[in-house]
A and B are shown apart, each in its own frame.
Chain A
């Protein structure tokens, strides 16, 4: 993946990259938390606390994205990383596309 950094928007680009990575980690945490809830080992109070903690992270990320106008940068970093992941998950199709190009 090529990450293009426009010198004028270095802060936006860098912040976008960091927020994208935090979003990816947050999604992994959410999936983990859902598994925990589904295991049935948490009390209702623990479930609510876990949910609120992750809701706070989500809210903070939304706030940072809005304040700094970096939603597009974040989306494009995540799209780029998804494509890289796709290469590992589906190498045959990738090989075909490379030949076509």
Chain B
């Protein structure tokens, strides 16, 4: 989508901020629910429509992180609202702006019609769910020490050494422990992925998460997945996660969200 962003434009012209593309036939206002209370409305072409607001053709930028966070939340609210209203949506990332007016949007929809239509079809009845699996720090340490004799012996040795003289051995333990921890996490990610995959259409393994849920602050993240799930499979996915939870892991399962991670529109 990068080519859509207008950056460093000196003469600001008309622009349209695009939230998502939906199945729709009529032009319709959704009210002043957009970024900075902009009026959000649909621009239809054939049986699809873009959900937009009118703006200048320059990106929303600010050094004030709270302001940017507010914009992003508004963006997500509009996409969620559109999902409720129209069913399936093809969501866009924050700050996707098309230079031009409604006519340009119509042309843009016409050019990409087949791709948008295919995506709406592919994502229909499906939503994105986020699965994060955590372990207690103590349980993880215990599990690693049970499996790793060398680390266990090193830990005992450190216990008998004076503070400063034992420093290097403590560091050796830390480095060895981190390696063992990463290896165990990689193994568990694969195990969890194989337990989940039969219930999802598509799955992305996330390397890190941007926001640690409040209740999980004292735990260690083991695995995070974004999953595209058909509505008929949400219950069975929940049951599979229930089993993982019974094995002693804390599972954070959220959704449905608009399928941000699964839109494939590279060439539009």
Residues of A bordering B, CB below 8 Å: 30-31, 33-34, 37, 47-48, 50-52, 54-56, 58, 99, 101
User: Does B172 count as interface, using CB distance less than 8 angstroms?
Assistant: yes
For A33, what are the chain B residues with a Cβ–Cβ distance below 8 Å?
168
User: Does B169 count as interface, using CB distance less than 8 angstroms?
Assistant: yes
User: Does B167 count as interface, using CB distance less than 8 angstroms?
Assistant: yes
| A-B pairs, 5 with minimum CB distance | A55-B167, A51-B168, A48-B165, A55-B164, A52-B164
Do A50 and B175 have beta carbons less than 8 Å apart? no
Number of interface residues of B (CB under 8 A): 12
Q: Roughly how many angstroms separate A28 CA and B165 CA in the complex, as a whole number?
A: 19
* 30 A–B pairs (Cβ distance < 8 Å), ordered by A: A30-B171, A30-B175, A31-B175, A33-B168, A34-B168, A34-B172, A34-B175, A37-B168, A47-B165, A48-B165, A50-B168, A51-B164, A51-B165, A51-B166, A51-B167, A51-B168, A51-B169, A52-B164, A52-B165, A52-B167, A54-B167, A54-B168, A54-B171, A55-B163, A55-B164, A55-B167, A55-B168, A56-B164, A99-B266, A101-B2
For A99, what are the chain B residues with a Cβ–Cβ distance below 8 Å?
266
For B163, what are the chain A residues with a Cβ–Cβ distance below 8 Å?
55
Q: Roughly how many angstroms separate A55 CA and B169 CA in the complex, as a whole number?
A: 11
Interface of B, secondary structure class, is helix
For A31, the closest partner residue in chain B by CB is B175
Considering the complex, which residues of chain B in the window 172-228 have a beta carbon less than 8 Å from any beta carbon of chain A?
Answer: 172, 175
For A58, what are the chain B residues with a Cβ–Cβ distance below 8 Å?
167
Q: Roughly how many angstroms separate A48 CA and B162 CA in the complex, as a whole number?
A: 10
Q: Roughly how many angstroms separate A37 CA and B167 CA in the complex, as a whole number?
A: 13
Considering the complex, which residues of chain B in the window 139-164 have a beta carbon less than 8 Å from any beta carbon of chain A?
Answer: 163-164
Q: Roughly how many angstroms separate A47 CA and B167 CA in the complex, as a whole number?
A: 10
Q: Roughly how many angstroms separate A48 CA and B172 CA in the complex, as a whole number?
A: 14
Q: Roughly how many angstroms separate A101 CA and B171 CA in the complex, as a whole number?
A: 38
Q: Roughly how many angstroms separate A58 CA and B167 CA in the complex, as a whole number?
A: 9
Q: Roughly how many angstroms separate A48 CA and B171 CA in the complex, as a whole number?
A: 14
For B172, what are the chain A residues with a Cβ–Cβ distance below 8 Å?
34
For A52, the closest partner residue in chain B by CB is B164
A54, A55, A56, A58: residue with the most chain B Cβ atoms closer than 10 Å: A55
Chain B 7-18, CB-CB to A under 8 Å as 1, else 0, gives 000000000000
For A55, the closest partner residue in chain B by CB is B167
For A101, what are the chain B residues with a Cβ–Cβ distance below 8 Å?
2
Q: Roughly how many angstroms separate A31 CA and B167 CA in the complex, as a whole number?
A: 12
For A54, what are the chain B residues with a Cβ–Cβ distance below 8 Å?
167-168, 171
